[in-house]
Amino acid sequence: MKQEENKTSRASQTREKTQRKKVWTPPSYLDTPNAPAGFRHRWVRVEILGYVDTKNIQGRLR
pTM reported for the whole predicted model: 0.34
SS (H, E, C) the chain: CCCCCCCCCHHHHCCCCCCCCCCCCCHHHCCCCCCCCCCCCCCCCCEECCEECHHHHHHHHC
- Whole-number pLDDT of residue 55: 78
- Summarised one tens digit per residue, pLDDT across range 32-62 is 788 899 998 877 788 888 888 887 777 766 6
Query: How many residues in total does the chain contain?
Result: 62
Give me the residue spans of the domains in the chain.
37-62
- Summarised one tens digit per residue, pLDDT across range 25-40 is 777 666 778 889 999 8
